[in-house]
Each structure stands twice: as C-alpha cells, then as structure tokens.
Chains A and B, each alone.
Chain A
Amino acid sequence: MNKWLRPALRTTLRLWRRQWSAEATSGASVSTGASSPSSEEAGRVTLNFFCPHQVIAKNRQVVSVIVPAASGLMGILPNHVPTVAQMRPGVVTIIGDGGAEERYFVSSGFTFVHPDRTDICAVEAVRVSDIDPEEVSKALADCEAKLASSSSSAAAGTAEAQRAAVAQIGVDVYLAMQGVVSGTR
C-alpha cells in the first residue's frame, strides 16, 4: 500500500509543475504549427485513448487526464508541455465535465502529449470496475510462486532468467491491480 501512496502524493506536485505559463504555450504552438487552439483554448484536453484491439476514446474533450507515468502519476491539463511518457501498470483516470471520473487499468504503453492533443497508447486497458479482485489475488499468488521457484535456481541459464523476468512482470502488474481494486472498494 505504501508503494501506492507515494506516487499519489507526487501527482499533486506534478500537476502544478507540469503546467506551462501562458507565454510558453503560445511559443510551443507556433513552433509545431500543428495545434488546434480552438479545443485547447476552451480549457479541454483532446484525448485519444487507444489499445491494439480497442478504441476507448477518440477526439474526446475532457477536463483532464491522469496517467501512470514511469516516474509517478502525471496529470495532464490543457496546454501541457509536449511529453513522451512511458507508462507502468496503473490507472488512467479520465476526468470529464463536473468531475465525472472514468478509471481504466492499463498494463503498459506510452502516452504522447502533443501540443494539440493527447494520445494514450496502452497495450491493454480494462475498466477498473470490471476487474475481479479474487481473480487478481489468485493470479498474484500464482506469479509469486513462479517467481520464488525460478529465483531459487537463479544461477541457471537464460531461459530460467527469462521465466523469472516474466514472473516478475506478472507480480508487478497484479500488485498494481490489487492496489487499485482494494483502493476502490
């Protein structure tokens, strides 16, 4: 749980830090020449949220988005500095009108903050409400067991190391998922 509080605390800091002053923004949009100021000026983020097999949002106007970047949760408000962020397992929160929240768990992927829009490209995304907590803890135990068995024979070849790495990724993802699920209920 402690693991989860830290990035959350950082979020608020980042939200402020990432906001650009007005003059900086106008400079950025001139240099890229590709911005569509109409949507951004209205105080909205133009959001695209894609998976390989699913389109969750396309050109949706939202108030803000919070993505689980590798270095901590990252809040994206209009006129955010152009950024490429790698995502770690965590929750993408889309905040619409009147503070209505939509929460998706993503396994990994990238977020591209362009001057005129924000693209979230996740490898896998599911609604947090669709996650079954029992399945998560089962899968987590499974991966932990695999990790334990493979790291006990850590000196063995690369195949074993790869199996351990896969198990480690599984543990990371399911831990994050469990944290999210238990946090919401």
Chain B
Amino acid sequence: MQGVRAVGLSSVRRVYAAARAHVQSSTPGGGGGGGGGVGNFLSSSNEKALGGVRFASLKAVRNRMRSIASIGKITKAMKMVAAAKLRGTQARQDLSRPFAASVRQFFDLLPLEKLGSETKAGVAEPKRRLLVVITSDRGLCGSVNTNVCRLARQMLPHGAASPVSDGVETNIMVIGDKGRDALQRTSAAFFTTTFRDVFKAPVSFPQAVIIAEEILAQSPDEVVIFYNRFKSAISQVPTQQPLLGLQLLMDNASVFDGYEFDSDMDSSQVMVDLFEFEVATQLYGALLENATSEQAARMSAMDNASTNAAEMLDKLTLQYNRERQAVITTELVEIVAGASALQK
C-alpha cells in the first residue's frame, strides 16, 4: 500500500504541473484575441510531443484511478471479512476467558517477584527459558506482529549469537509465519520449533494441546508467552505472560499447602498434570487473544486503507476533470486562433 501510494502521488504531481503549463500558456493568448503568446505556443518545436504527453497523461490518470478504485474495493472487502471473523472469534473468546482466568488464579498464589530470591540458590544447572511468540500467518493487519516480535526480541540476551549465555539458555518457539519471517533475520540461532497454519481454522483446545505438548517436551524452567491482548477493537496490547516451569513449581509447592490435592496417585503427580493443564490452558487463551487481536487490527488497517483509497480517488478525479477541461480549452483556443489566422 505504501509503495503504491508514493508512486501515485508523484505521477499526479507531474500531470498536474503539465496541465498548469498548458492552461497558463494558452489562456492569456486566447483572451487577448490572437497575440504573440498563442503564436509562440503553436509554433514551438515540441508541439507534437506536448500534445502526445497531454493525452497520455490523461490516460495515465485514468489508469491510476481505476487501479486505486479496485484496490479500494479489495481493502473494503477485506475489512468486511475481518469484521465478520472478529465477531466470531470475539464471541469464542468471551466464552473462554473465564476458563483460562480461573486456572490462572490458582497459580497466582505463587507470585513471580517472590520467586527470584527464593529459588536462585536452588537452581544450579543452566536455566532454560522458552519464548513462545504468537503471531499471525498473514499480513495486512497493522502492527500487531511487529509489536509482539519487538517485545520478544527484548527478552533475548544482548548481542549473543548462541542460545546459551550467562548460564541461561533461551530458545524461541514461533507460532505463525509472520513472526518466523521477522525473527529469522536477527535470531534464527535461538529457534527450536515453528508452527504454521495455526489460525487457519478457528482456534481449538486440542490444537493448543498439541502445541503445549511440544513446549513440555523441551522441559523449560520458564515459559514466556508473547501475544497481543485484545483490549478493544481499536486497541491491542502486546503482552508477555510468564509461566513457571515444573521444577520451580515443585520447589515452591508449599505455597499450595492450603489446598488438599485429591488423587488416587501421589499428589506430586497431580501437580504435574495440573501444570500441563495450565500450560495448555494459558496457551489456548493466548492463541485466542491473538487471533481476535489479529482480526481487529486487520479490520482497522483495512478501514484506513479504504479511506485512503477513497481520498486518493477523490483527488485524482478532481485532477482528471481539471485536466480534461484544460485539454478542451486548449483545443478551443487552437481552433479560434486558427480561424482568426485564416481571416487575416
């Protein structure tokens, strides 16, 4: 869209300048009743070329108008589609938010700030941190993907080329083509897994479970999920949500002593299952948030694009008409001047 617009504007300006040149050089002569100006204009050596340019530029404007009108139609259609999809995902998200929130609330008993001081001594081996970056597969949705990738990049160790630095191993798992393309350039060394076509069908819990299994297979000490939180149709907030790894959870299991763990196996197994459930649940919530944000961002981006296209079309239409009139005026002047020359 950007490139298209830049080209369009410059050609408009050229056409406009050419049209002004015609009008200015022809009208005084015509009004004066066959003065030297008209004679000069007609006899100038590049008359033929000017006439050619005159018609070609009119045609160029017409072509641009047509292409802008069709781009405008496409963006408008995309906006409609995004709006329809947004309604669907938003309804689904409204139903799923309490589910993720109620699981989250239980784990909020273990505040993250408190954790740093208590567990540092306990963790001797390199800490494994997994960044899960959720982006969309398709573009034309504003800056949601850029924002999330920027946030994720800030978590990477500065200037490090390998995943392990200062005893902390950082890995990236990317969901969505756009994030993969954006992060591959700078941080391909950190990649472990990438997913695509996640948002092709509506986000479902089984899908989240598959991704969660992949996360758990890497047994990280900390999982950070990056996604766009859907605040409203015009505001999406890039968010990072840290989840504790199983080991840290087990080390701090005393926080949950207020609760009785019901199981026919030992209670540590319940903790493991609960942790896996939590990862899948939070991932599901984040996927839905991001899917909703994507559609909302696409809707507003396409709305802007449609408005811009309409604006450009208006300007070009004005331009086209003005030039058409200039051409007619010039032709009239030529006829009048020719007739008066014959009368002499």
A: residues with CB less than 8 A from B are 28, 31-32, 48, 50-55, 58, 69-71, 74, 81-86, 109-110, 112-113, 119, 121, 123
In the complex, whether B166 has a CB less than 8 A from a CB of chain A is no
By a beta-carbon cutoff of 8 Å, the part of chain B in contact with chain A is 92, 95-96, 98-99, 102-103, 105-106, 204-205, 208, 256, 258-265, 270, 273-274, 277, 281, 284
Q: Which residues from chain B contact A31 at a C-beta distance below 8 Å?
A: 258
Contact A74 B102 (CB under 8 A): no
- Give Cα distance in the complex from A52 to B274, angstroms: 15
A82 to B260, CA, bound (A): 6
Residues of chain A contacted by B258 (CB below 8 angstroms): 28, 31-32, 82
Can you sample 23 A-B contacts with CB below 8 Å? A31-B258, A32-B258, A52-B205, A52-B284, A53-B95, A53-B205, A70-B262, A71-B263, A74-B262, A82-B258, A83-B260, A83-B261, A83-B262, A84-B256, A84-B260, A85-B262, A86-B263, A86-B274, A112-B102, A112-B259, A113-B259, A119-B102, A121-B99
B106: which A residues are within 8 A, CB to CB? 84, 112, 119
> Using Cβ atoms and an 8 Å threshold, which residues of chain B touch A123?
205
Picked from B205, B259, B263, B265, the residue with its CB within 8 Å of the CB of A82 is B259
Give CA–CA (A69, B261) in the complex, Å: 10
Chain B residue with the shortest CB-CB distance to A18: B260
- Chain A residue nearest to B284 in the complex (CB): A52
Closest to A111 in B: B262
Contacts of B259 in A (CB 8 A): 82-84, 112-113
Q: Which residues of B contact A82 (CB under 8 A)?
A: 258-260
Chain A contacts for B264, CB-based, 8 A: 70-71
In Å, the complex CA distance between A58 and B102 comes to 11
Q: Contact between A55 and B98 (Cβ–Cβ < 8 Å)?
A: yes
**B residues within 8 A CB of A112?**
102-103, 106, 259
With CB as the reference atom, state the residue of chain B lying closest to A14: B262
- Separation in Å of the B292 CB from the closest CB of chain A? 14
A146 to chain B, nearest CB (A): 18
Of A28, A51, A58, A71, which is within 8 A of B262 by CB?
A71
- Which of A58, A85, A86, A112 has most B Cβ within 10 Å? A86
Q: Which residues of B contact A83 (CB under 8 A)?
A: 259-262
* Complex Cα spacing A70 to B106, Å: 19
Residues of B within 8 A of A50 (CB): 98-99, 102
Residue numbers in A under 8 Å from B273 (CB-CB): 86
Q: Are A121 and B263 in contact (CB under 8 A)?
A: no
Chain A residues closer than 8 Å to B99, beta-carbon distance: 50-52, 55, 121
- Residue of B with least CB distance to A58: B98
Cα–Cα, bound, A54→B263 (Å): 26
Instruction: Report the separation of the CA atoms of residues A145 and B259 in the bound assembly, to the nearest whole angstrom.
Output: 41
With a CB–CB cut-off of 8 A, which chain A residues contact B277?
A: 109-110, 121
* Known contacts A81-B260, A84-B259, then 20 further A-B pairs from the complex at CB < 8 Å, ordered by chain A residue: A28-B258, A51-B99, A52-B96, A52-B99, A52-B205, A52-B284, A53-B92, A55-B95, A74-B262, A83-B259, A83-B262, A84-B256, A84-B262, A85-B261, A110-B103, A112-B103, A112-B259, A113-B259, A121-B102, A121-B103
Q: Is the CB of A70 within 8 A of B265?
A: yes
